[in-house]
Amino acid sequence: MEQPHDPAPSLFEAHPRSFESNRYVYPVVSRRSGGISIGVNLNLDKVCNFDCVYCQVDRTELATREFVETDRLVSELDDTIGRIVSGRIYQTAAFQRTPAAFRRLNDIAFSGDGEPTTYRNFDEIVSISAEVRRRHGLDDVKLVLITNASMFHRQRVRRALEILDAENGEIWAKLDAGTESYYKRIIRTVIPFRRILDNLADAARARPIVIQSLFMRVEGVAPPLEEQDAYCDRLGEILAAGGRIKLVQIHTIARPPAETWVTSLSTAEVDALADRVRRRSGLPVAAYYGTQSGDAPDPGA
Boundary-marking domain end, from 172, 205, 223 = 172
The count of domains in the chain is 2
Of 287, 261, 223, the C-alpha closest to 53 is: 261
- Do 123 and 244 fall within a single domain? no
- Do 80 and 165 fall within a single domain? yes
- Do 31 and 161 fall within a single domain? yes
- Do 95 and 160 fall within a single domain? yes
Boundary-marking domain end, from 114, 143, 172 = 172
Question: What is the rounded CA–CA span in Å between residue 128 and residue 72?
Answer: 12
Residue 294 has pLDDT above 80, yes or no: no
Neighbours of 172 (CB within 10 A): 20
- How high is the pLDDT of residue 297? 42
* Interacting residues of 273 by C-beta distance below 8 A, sequence separation 6+: 215, 223, 228, 250, 265, 287
- Do 27 and 161 fall within a single domain? yes
- How high is the pLDDT of residue 301? 36
- Do 186 and 133 fall within a single domain? no
Boundary-marking domain end, from 142, 157, 172 = 172
- Do 215 and 167 fall within a single domain? no
* Interacting residues of 194 by C-beta distance below 8 A, sequence separation 6+: none
Better-scored residue on pLDDT, 189 or 111: 189
- How high is the pLDDT of residue 298? 42
Of 54, 22, 58, the C-alpha closest to 41 is: 22
Question: pLDDT digit string (tens) for 102-133?
Answer: 999 999 999 888 999 999 899 999 999 999 99
- Do 107 and 72 fall within a single domain? yes
- How high is the pLDDT of residue 293? 43
- How high is the pLDDT of residue 69? 94
- How high is the pLDDT of residue 3? 33
- Do 152 and 274 fall within a single domain? no
Domain encompassing residue 199: 175-301
- Do 1 and 47 fall within a single domain? yes
